[in-house]
Structure 1
Amino acid sequence: MLTAAVAATALLLGGCAGGTDEPAATAPSGSAAYPVTAGGVTLERRPERIVSLAPTATEMLFAIGAGPQVTAVDDQSTYPADAPKSELSGFKPNAEAIAAKNPDLVVLSDDLNKIVDQLTKLKIPVLLAPAAKTLDDTYRQIDELGALTGNGDEAAALTERMRTQIDKIVKSVPARSAPLSYYYELDPTLYSVTSSTFIGSIFSMFGLKNVADPADPDGAKSGYPQLSPEALIKANPDLIFLADTNCCKQSPATVKARTGWSAITAVQKDQIVALDDDIASRWGPRVVDLVQSVADSVAKVPS
């Protein structure tokens, strides 16, 4: 089971194993003029040996057509399947091991062990792409990666496609006279997310009420509070979303078997949604799939 710190770190680094069979992106155009500056990084030439130590960044790179430029990814980058997975760790980054890959660009989601300073001293360019707080952060990171890798047109097309798809999905769900409430589970010890997080912002687009918000009203827990069983049962959410199906083997069946949970509306009405951990914990192109899962779940609840 994940502690609060581990749960938050897992989200920052992009989640655990899993994925879907979305087709790979097209080849890069390589048409950008260098030097290029984006995300605080300046590159004198198009990078051809990119190392990604963040699963979300890996997904973004392949989605914009920069896959052929990626020579190594971290051990948690499980998507796409043909990403060149290595022994490198994003949780415990090692500067010497990274440098041994001879990268001309390293992409990270978090500056653990002060790895950015270590790589900078080795004159290795580093783009820090932290966990997104909003969809705009996602679009910005995709655009930055597009600019740095010479795939600006592909990146722009991807973000436009994502915006269009998400807008269409959200508008397809009819408005309700009263908002539905939901509980989003990170692990079986009842760590959750509030509306102030990236995940929370996705659910807010559908006008859903987050039962975890009262557990972290001032943000002291960084939007990742742990709920008590008593508080959760009292909150009585209409929907339960499980983001711990892969990591922790949770399912509608395991939730229904929990003591006292039979009193919860979501349990009584079979409104428990099993999500793919990876898609639910990453803020890259497949966030469209998460939005669709939420839309489908909300639409199934009788008005």
Structure 2
Amino acid sequence: MRPVRTAVAGALLGALTLAGCGQSDDTAGTSATAPATPAASAQAAGFPVTVQAGNGAVTIPAKPSRIVSISPTATETLFAIGAGPQVVAVDDQSDHPAEAPKSDLSGYKPNAESIIDRKPDLVVLANDTGGVVAALTKVGIPVLLEPAATKLEESYDEISDLGAATGNTAKAGQVVADMQSRIQQLAAAAPKDKKLTYFHELDNTPFSVTSGTFIGQIYGMFGLTNIADKAPDAAGGYPKLSTEFVAEADPDLIFLADTKCCGQSKQTLAKRPGWGGLSAIKKDQVFPVDDDIASRWGPRVVDFAEIVDAAVRKAAA
């Protein structure tokens, strides 16, 4: 059990300092009468393609067949959009889906040499730790830096980026459309008569999130008010709150995204100084959220929205 929610603090807090991703655009086409050469086949599949990622415009010359993902979110996305068979290795933090090819590649401290040994024709990263992007680019490997999303639109954009980069544009578009539709349906149907407040816990220090994050954005869609928005230091959207601050705010709902990393539950919260009398604890409005689902900005954002929806409905009943 890790005492600090490193997966979030590293993947989210660190990645937020990086540039965002952009739209993808095709840079080559082919005529219907083009000869069936390897180059023409690549063009017919939509390659080469240029993607605007966090590290700028990246051109992928041909459909990649040896993708290395050093990002749990990217790994989930690649498999969701149909690029799973193209993935040859993922980092040691990528645990979903189960069929993702396991490896000892570090997700926290990516090693360029270890990645190069896998002979990738595309590498996807969430963080440029230790200058790994430059090291891989130097040897001619296309690299997509897809940092932590700060809002849902960036999540959708990154899925579209990976679709274009892997030759799975149509499937990626469908994934995005399905996500948007489902989240909008849930939010529109959610009861909003009660003005409920909430506290989202990233780890037991406790770190939280503001409404300016993609996590907070989802809560906002369900009409919830975030107590962390009044924190003295917003800390880029991920403030560290004091136990006194949370106790004084007395949120109606508490969401625990540190059940796996830190073993937190309603029972452990009740033992914290001043928390035993919190409304959410007394009224059984403490909701566990899978740490990974709550910290990754890929297709399973929908699962997170469904958890929020169920909590709001329970509180409104």
TM-score (norm 1): 0.89
> If you compute each CA radius of gyration, which structure gives the higher value, 1 or 2?
2
Alignment equivalent of 1:210, drawn from 216, 226, 229: 226
Q: Is 1:136 matched with 2:153?
A: yes
Consecutive unaligned residues in structure 2, runs of 5 or more: 16-41
Partner of 1:240, secondary structure, is: strand
Deviation at 1:261, TM superposition (A): 1.1
Q: Is 1:246 matched with 2:263?
A: no
Which one has more relative contact order, counting CA pairs under 8 Å at least 6 apart? 1
Partner of 2:236, secondary structure, is: coil
Alignment equivalent of 2:307, drawn from 275, 289, 293: 293
String of CA shifts for 1:94-131, please: whole Å, max 9, x gaps.
11000000000000011111111111111111001000
String of CA shifts for 1:255-285, please: whole Å, max 9, x gaps.
2232321221101100000010010110000
- Equivalent residue letter for 2:221: M
Alignment equivalent of 1:105, drawn from 106, 122, 125: 122
Partner of 1:212, secondary structure, is: helix
What does residue range 23-42 of structure 1 map to in structure 2 within 5 Å? 32-39=45-52, 40-42=57-59
TM-score (norm 2): 0.86
* Contact 2:60 2:142 survives alignment (8 Å): yes
Mark the CA change 1:164 to 1:4 in structure 2 (over 3 Å): closer, same or farther: closer
Match of 1:8 in 2: 9
Consecutive unaligned residues in structure 1, runs of 5 or more: 15-29
Within 2, Cα distance between the matches of 1:4 and 1:280? 12
String of CA shifts for 1:14-65, please: whole Å, max 9, x gaps.
9xxxxxxxxxxxxxxx973211111221111100000000000000000000
Deviates more, 1:276-285 or 1:223-232: 223-232
Deviation at 1:4, TM superposition (A): 8.2
Match of 1:256 in 2: 270
- Equivalent residue letter for 1:115: V
Length, aligned pairs only:
285
Q: Spell out structure 1 runs of 4+ moving beyond 6 A.
A: none
Match of 2:111 in 1: 94
What does residue range 141-180 of structure 1 map to in structure 2 within 5 Å? 141-176=158-193, 178-180=194-196
Alignment equivalent of 1:232, drawn from 239, 243, 246: 246
Match of 1:265 in 2: 279
Match of 2:202 in 1: 186
* Contact 1:50 1:103 survives alignment (8 Å): yes
RMSD of aligned alpha carbons:
1.9
Match of 2:94 in 1: 77
